[in-house]
Structure 1
Amino acid sequence: MAAGTLTHRFTVPAPRDHLVAHLGDPANYVTLNPYVTEVSGVHERDGAVEFTAIERIRLLGPVHRNNRLSLVIRSEADHSRTVYDVTSPGGITVRIATDFTETPGGTDVLDTITLDVPWPIRRFALRQARFAQLHRADILARLDRGTSRLA
């Protein structure tokens, strides 16, 4: 297995409580991850939210593969961090740690993705993860200041 880490820092003009609420709701994972088409089996256990998602990855042209992902979301009690632990077929694991620091006028966000992936698909997986990371940042940047909903 090969590991890779991606980081992205950005500012969102919304309070961190709204970001934590948005990230902590599995129903939002379909918009947060551009590859996910469906979320199901949502339940809480030991202060975490567990669920399943279907990820559609385009391989070549019209050829795609649907992966069944198992996810666990945990948020720190002080709303300073949300962590997604994702397990994908083939022993691929992904951890998305999102750290929040309130600033005047919004929240500073540091998003870190760590992947453990077989060497032959490492480059492909890192490229897909980076695209998803930037997509998630764009979605979060559009959160309305007054709610945890998209503006």
Structure 2
Amino acid sequence: MATEEFSRSVTVAATAARVFAHLELPDNYVGLAPLVVAVREVTTLPEEVRYVAVERFRLGPQRWDNPIRVSMTFPRTGRRIVSDVHSPGGVRLTATVDLTDTPEGARVRETVQVVFPRPLRPLVIGQAAKAQRHRLAELARRMSEAHPR
């Protein structure tokens, strides 16, 4: 198995508390994560939420739904969310979101660590990086004054 890690940051027009409140709800990941079309089997525990996210892949007229198990944990600071994702094929992704208030709103820094079988590297890293760029851009859009959610 191989491991890679990468980070990106964006400043959004909302407080860290508002961003946290948005990100702690699994249903908000539909469309936030570009392939996620549904969330089901949500279990809420103290400082943790577990759910199944359904990723939809399309190749021409064919579609394939990939259910992935997600566990989100919330350290008591209210400034960090850690999502552990287990996907078929031996792929595991951990995304850590750190939130910091700034004069412009909130700085959102997401660090992604991916563990994967070496032959899958181009696909896994390409998809994870593309998804991260989409997620941060969509979060910034959602947090803008024109689109409060």
Tell me the equivalent position of 1:128.
Answer: 127
* 2:89 partner SS: helix
Q: Which stretch of structure 1 is more off in the superposition, 137-146 or 3-12?
A: 137-146
Tell me the equivalent position of 1:99.
Answer: 98
Q: RMSD between aligned alpha carbons?
A: 1.9
Identity %: 36
Conserved? CA contact 2:11–2:104, under 8 Å: no
Cα displacement (A) at 1:50: 0.5
Conserved? CA contact 2:30–2:38, under 8 Å: yes
Tell me the equivalent position of 1:13.
Answer: 13
Cα displacement (A) at 1:22: 1.0
Report Cα offsets for 1:46-99 as digits up to 9, x if no partner. 4201000111234x5555532210001112222221111101112211001011
- Residues 1:44 and 2:44 are matched in the alignment: yes
Conserved? CA contact 1:6–1:114, under 8 Å: yes
Change in CA separation of 1:8 and 1:144 when aligned onto 2, cut-off 3 Å: same
Matches within 5 A, 1:33-112: 33-58=33-58, 61-112=60-111
Unaligned 5+ segments in structure 2 are none
TM-score, with structure 2 as normaliser: 0.90
Unaligned 5+ segments in structure 1 are none
Opposite residue 73 of structure 1, the aligned amino acid is: M
**Structure 2: how far apart are the matches of 1:148 and 1:82?**
21
